[in-house]
Amino acid sequence: MSLDISFIGILIGSIMASSVPLILAASGELITERSGVLNLGVEGMMIIGAISGFALMVITDNLFIAIVGSMLSGVIISLIFGFLTQSLLTNHVATGLALTIFGIGLSAMLGKNFVGIPGKEFPILFSSLRESIPFFGPILFGHSIVLYFAFALPFLTNYFLKKTKLGLVVRAVGDSPVSASNQGINVILVRYCCILYGGAMCGLAGAYLSLIYTPQWIENMTAGRGWIALALVVFATWSPIKVLIGALIFGGITILQLHMQAIGFRIPVQFLSALPYLMTIIVLVVISRDSRKIKLNTPTSLGRIFYKEK
């Protein structure tokens, strides 16, 4: 195997593709957490998104409906979480864990009849440019629309949080729901919206896996990516751009270590498999060690139950 320039281009392209579900799920969860809600159900919402997207694709044979349907299913399942935590004031952690377990079980049940059905090819954009430009071609072109969206999302999220009025409201609610409520902000409504948005992004992340990345349904196919996304949000100290960096490092090292295993490096396989986790944590800890910034970015009320005085 030669390490020429075009191979590196293809490698980077595949790294980008593998980090898309992490970017999507983590960006969604980031908004949810910024409003003060800790939803540990990311994995469950992703897997529900994956099966419903795939099932809709098989049934309707329409990829657009499949993608939108996966997001809707993410919204619906996160609505359960929202209702429990915001209206019935249940504990965020326990409810989120339950959501994940529920999602994995439900997806396995729904997916029984879809195992082994081949997926459909997802349209890719600018495929001619991909071949004609060396190095940059495979990096910049020939991807699905979802990938382009995913890579724009952290920047959009950053803009939303820092520059828009609504973003300010979300941050305010996450900082101090009591103050926000006393200022006349409808805290419960804001949090509901953030939870549903997080659900939609997780659903989309799941659909990316089952429709685009590995177009088929396999039970438990998210394989812990939801948990990685959750960890990314925390280690990136709630900064969207750092989430993107973290997801790329994780995806990159995952792909690289697979190549290293294939080449037959004399490093224990177990260590190589652990490498993405280790490196992601190390890098994110190093780039986010400014304690002042951590304090400013951390949603102070994260995971705390808010109820309005009557």
Partner 1 sequence: MATDLRISNISKIYPGCVANDNVSLQFKSGKIYALLGENGAGKSTLVKILSGVISPDNGEVFLNEKNLKLSSPLDAKKNKIGMVFQHFNLFETLSVFENLSIDATEDNKSLRVRINEILKKYNFSIDLDVPVLNLSAGQKQKVEIIRCLLRSPKVLIMDEPTSVLTEQETEELFISLKKFCDEGILIIYITHKLKEVLSLCDEVAVMRKGKVVSVSQTQNEKVETLANKMVGQKLAKIKKKINISKNKDEIFKVKHLNFYSDDPFETNLVNLNFSVKKGECLGIAGISGNGQNELFQILSGEIITPDTSIIFRNKEIAKLNPKQRREYLMAFSPEDRISQAAVPELKIYENVALNNFKSSNFFEKGLVNERKIKEHSKKILSDFSVNTDNVELKSQFLSGGNLQKLILGRELITAPELLICYNPTWGLDVGAINYIHETLIKINDQEKSTILISTDTEELLKLSDRIAVIYKGKLSKIMPSEEVTPEKLGVLMGGGSID
Supply φ then ψ for residue 152, to 5 degrees: -80, -25
How many C-beta neighbours within 10 Å does residue 303 have?
16
How near is the Cβ of 160 to partner 1 at its closest, in Å?
14
- To partner 1, the closest distance from the beta carbon of 94 in angstroms equals 18
- Note the residues at the interface with partner 1 (CB under 8 A): 165, 168-169, 171-172, 175-176, 178-185, 295-298, 300, 309-310
CA distance 307 to 304: 10
In the complex, minimum distance from the CB of residue 16 to partner 1, in angstroms, rounded to a whole number = 32
Query: Which is closer to partner 1, CB of 163 or CB of 266?
Result: 163
**How far apart, in whole angstroms, are the C-alpha atoms of residue 183 and residue 185?**
6
Are 30 and 233 within 8 A, CB to CB?
yes
Q: Which residue, 112 or 310, is less far from partner 1 as judged by CB? A: 310
Closer residue to partner 1, CB minimum distance, 153 or 180: 180
Q: Are 143 and 17 in contact (CB under 8 A)?
A: yes
Cα–Cα distance list, 195 to 25, 40, 43 (Å): 12, 11, 14
How many C-beta atoms lie closer than 10 Å to residue 6's C-beta? 12
Q: Which two tokens stand for residue 161?
A: 């949080």
Structure tokens at 271: 């260590």
Residue 268, helix vs strand vs coil: coil
Q: Least distance from C-beta 253 to partner 1, angstroms?
A: 32
CB-based contact 280:195 (threshold 8 Å): no
Q: Which among 149, 159, 122, 126 has a CA at the least distance from the CA of 239?
A: 159
Q: Considering beta carbons, is residue 107 or 297 the nearer one to partner 1?
A: 297
State the nearest-atom distance from the C-beta of 95 to partner 1, in Å. Answer: 21
Altogether, the residues listed in the chain come to a count of: 310
In three-state secondary structure terms, 251 is helix
Instruction: Tell me the closest approach of the beta carbon of residue 297 to partner 1, in angstroms.
Output: 7
Give whichever of 93 and 269 is closer to partner 1, judged by the CB atom. Answer: 93
3-state class (DSSP) for residue 231? helix
Question: In whole angstroms, what is the distance from residue 20 CA to residue 232 CA?
Answer: 13
Least Å distance, CB 189 to partner 1, is 13
Distances (CA, A) of 271 to 116, 144, 260, 265: 32, 33, 11, 11
Closer residue to partner 1, CB minimum distance, 112 or 165 = 165
CB of 179 to partner 1, least distance (A): 4
Give the nearer residue to partner 1 in terms of CB position, either 259 or 295.
295
On the 0-12 / 13-18 / 19+ scale of CB atoms within 10 A, 97 is middle
Closer of 174 and 276 to partner 1 (Cβ): 174
